[in-house]
Amino acid sequence: MSKKSRKKSSKTPSGSPTAKKKTAKTRASIQTKSAKTERTPARKSAATLAKAGSHKAASKQLKSSKSVSSPAAAKSSLKSGLAEGQKAPAFRLPRDGGDVVTLADYAGQKLVLFFYPRADTPGCTREAIDFTRLADAFAAAGTAVLGISADPLKAQEKFRDKHKLGIPLISDETHGMLEAYGAWGEKSMYGKSFLGILRTTILIGADGKIARIWRNVRVDGHADEVLEAARSL
């Protein structure tokens, strides 16, 4: 055998140091890759768990926000349990012009209370103008009319002057009367829920009891309907 052949053959046996080194490197490489492969899912699963945790936290926040508003909503629903035939809740509130109005002021006569969300908005303006238009007819039927919202007195007076309203406007900024008559509760707009004034009208008889209740009022023709109900009492 030639010297070259002997040199080549001395490098190729599997038991040689060179082969052992290559085998060790190959094994180490395989182990490293497998370790990385094992670690990668662990990282992903940790991220998945973190994300799941954040979803749970968000869910808890959503539930807690609902639970925070639910007592007020529940209170409102209890207040809105006011039914026809019950005694009208007493009230004492300021009105436009600076006077104070109470339920006792209208003892022995019929009284209409129309609750509107906000002064000088389109629907509320039409409603107030309609009741003003029929003010004499209500008076002939022995019925007084009051408009109520949570607007401050200055806003009520500006509303009155701008549209020449002839109906007394009451300011209930603390929502006490609104809640007592079921005109304060949960509303929704653009997918969001909030508490606010529910357009409501109450007709109180001369005996001081609730004769009629209109909830979720539609403005068009409403004042005329209330007038007919007042005349029928």
Q: Of these residues, 124, 128, 141, 146, which one is catalytic?
A: 124
Which pLDDT value is given to residue 68?
Answer: 32
Range 159-169 average pLDDT: 98
How far apart, in whole angstroms, are the C-alpha atoms of residue 211 and residue 79?
Answer: 17
- B/e letters for 23-59, b = 16+ CB within 10 Å, e = fewer, are eeeeeeeeeeeeeeeeeeeeeeeeeeeeeeeeeeeee
Tell me the per-residue pLDDT of 17-74, one tens digit each, with 9 for 90 and over.
Answer: 444 444 555 454 545 444 444 444 444 444 444 444 444 433 333 333 333 333 443 3
Tell me the per-residue pLDDT of 91-115, one tens digit each, with 9 for 90 and over.
Answer: 999 999 999 999 999 999 999 999 9
Residue 63: phi and psi, rounded to 5, are: -65, -40
Q: What is the mean pLDDT of the chain?
A: 78
Which pLDDT value is given to residue 31?
Answer: 52
Locate 37 and state its tokens. Answer: 């492969």
37-46, 131-140, 155-164, 183-192: least confidently modelled range: 37-46
Residue 116: phi and psi, rounded to 5, are: -125, 145
For the chain, the C-alpha Rg in angstroms (whole number) is 39
Is 78 a known active-site residue?
Answer: no
Please name the helix (run of DSSP H) or strand (run of DSSP E) that holds residue 201, with its range, or none: strand 200-204
